[in-house]
């Protein structure tokens, strides 16, 4: 099935109050916060659920701290910490927007409770190198779709791009002579990275042999009319189809990023080096990968009190 615009986008009816309010919220997020289109979409979907549960746009002016907190407590029941945190972040942003635009008389963002969890508790979910190669090998590079999907997966696996970053690439972002690529990441930060040979060849094959001629400047577009830029949701579909072809359980595109970091660590790269490749703003984001190297960690573990020596 052809990948196009991302499934799950907001689809409220034209002209209704929810559509108007969320459109204003999305515009505010872009102008005031500089968030990516995918992040804005996710925030909007979370806030849509909040509005549906609290009486809709017309009830925003009557919100108080008690109602906000009660919603969050109820919403977090039977949800994992990552899902609950997504609502916390989105709701806080919406309540700041509502106060800044006069929709609420008092600031309510502080009424959204934090979700208790230890950030570094879970291990990063990654794929073994052999499975990554199976994902790539499953693309039929005799077809335009296969060429495109192979190029997308190569950038995720060889360069550690996020799905939204791959979707957002423009033709002018690639400097072929210099062998570099400009990536627009979180917070609209742009960074120039060396383009690995294998990934560069995959992208070049797609551009010269598979990509249709069209007015879009996006690197990755649909192969059927009307030609449209792929979204982050479409990149997830690319990953999902690749898992199916490889006979693997469906995995998220972000796991290829974790896989790259894991292989770099096992090859002897330092955590600061991994952080540079993944473009982490904080060393804390990279430190989670230290837990993967269990052989290196084992000598640091203290014996259990009372255990036999």
DSSP 237: H
Sign of the alpha-carbon dihedral angle for 4, 9, 15, 20: negative
Q: Among all residues, which ones are annotated catalytic?
A: 162, 186, 254, 257, 280, 289
At 50 the pLDDT is 96
48: domain CATH number? 1.10.150
Q: Which two tokens stand for residue 80?
A: 């994992």
Give the residue from 76, 111, 146 where a domain finishes: 111
At 10 the pLDDT is 39
At 63 the pLDDT is 96
Q: Are residues 243 and 288 in the same domain?
A: yes
At 237 the pLDDT is 96
Say how far apart CA 219 and CA 167 lie, in whole Å: 8
DSSP 227: P
The answer to whether residue 73 is domain-embedded is: yes
At 303 the pLDDT is 60
The answer to whether residue 279 is domain-embedded is: yes
DSSP 251: -
SS3 211: coil
The answer to whether residue 12 is domain-embedded is: no
> Parallel, antiparallel, or unpaired for β 174-175 and 180-184?
antiparallel
At 81 the pLDDT is 79
At 151 the pLDDT is 98
Averaged in consecutive runs of 10 residues, what is the pLDDT profile of the chain (309 residues)? 41 66 95 85 94 94 95 87 89 97 95 72 74 97 98 96 94 96 86 94 98 97 96 94 95 90 84 83 67 50 54
pTM of the model: 0.67
Say how far apart CA 173 and CA 25 lie, in whole Å: 29
Question: 68 is in which domain, residue-wise?
Answer: 17-111
Backbone torsions φ then ψ of 194, nearest 5 degrees: -65, 140
Q: Are residues 66 and 202 in the same domain?
A: no
The answer to whether residue 301 is domain-embedded is: no
CB 108, CB 119: distance < 8 Å = no
The answer to whether residue 11 is domain-embedded is: no
Which residue, chain included where needed, has tokens 């930060």?
Answer: 189
166: domain CATH number? 1.10.443.10
Q: Are residues 142 and 275 in the same domain?
A: yes
At 6 the pLDDT is 37
Q: Are residues 104 and 253 in the same domain?
A: no
Q: Are residues 80 and 143 in the same domain?
A: no
State the DSSP string of 153-177. Answer: HHHHHHS---HHHHHT-BGGGEETT
Q: Please count the structural domains in the chain.
A: 2
The answer to whether residue 30 is domain-embedded is: yes
Give the residue from 111, 139, 168 where a domain finishes: 111
């Amino acid at each position: 099935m052809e990948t196009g615009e991302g499934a799950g986008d907001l689809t409220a009816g034209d002209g209704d109050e929810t559509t108007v309010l969320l459109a204003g919220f999305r515009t505010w997020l872009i102008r005031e916060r500089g968030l990516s289109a995918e992040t804005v979409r996710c925030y909007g979907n979370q806030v849509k659920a909040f509005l549906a549960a609290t009486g809709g746009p017309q009830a925003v002016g009557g919100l108080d701290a008690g109602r906000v907190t009660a919603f969050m407590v109820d919403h977090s029941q039977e949800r994992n910490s990552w899902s609950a945190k997504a609502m916390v972040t989105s709701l806080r942003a919406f309540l700041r927007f509502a106060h800044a635009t006069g929709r609420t008389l008092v600031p309510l963002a502080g009424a959204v409770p934090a979700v208790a969890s230890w950030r570094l508790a879970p291990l990063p979910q990654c794929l073994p190198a052999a499975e990554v190669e199976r994902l790539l090998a499953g693309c039929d590079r005799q077809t335009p779709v296969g060429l495109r999907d192979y190029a997308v997966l190569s950038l995720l696996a060889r360069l550690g791009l996020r799905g939204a970053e791959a979707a957002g690439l423009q033709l002018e972002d690639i400097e072929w002579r210099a062998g570099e690529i400009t990536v627009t990441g979180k917070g609209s930060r742009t960074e120039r990275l060396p383009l690995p040979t294998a990934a560069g060849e995959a992208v070049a094959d797609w551009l010269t042999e598979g990509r249709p001629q069209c007015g879009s400047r996006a690197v990755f577009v649909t192969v059927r009319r009307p030609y449209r830029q792929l979204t982050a949701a479409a990149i997830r579909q690319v990953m999902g189809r690749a898992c199916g072809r490889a006979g693997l359980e469906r995995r998220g595109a972000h796991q290829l990023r974790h896989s790259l970091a894991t292989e770099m660590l096992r090859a002897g790269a330092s955590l600061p080096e991994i952080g540079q490749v993944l473009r982490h703003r904080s060393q804390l984001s990279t430190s989670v990968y230290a837990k993967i190297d269990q052989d290196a960690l084992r000598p640091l573990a203290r014996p259990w009190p009372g255990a036999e020596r």
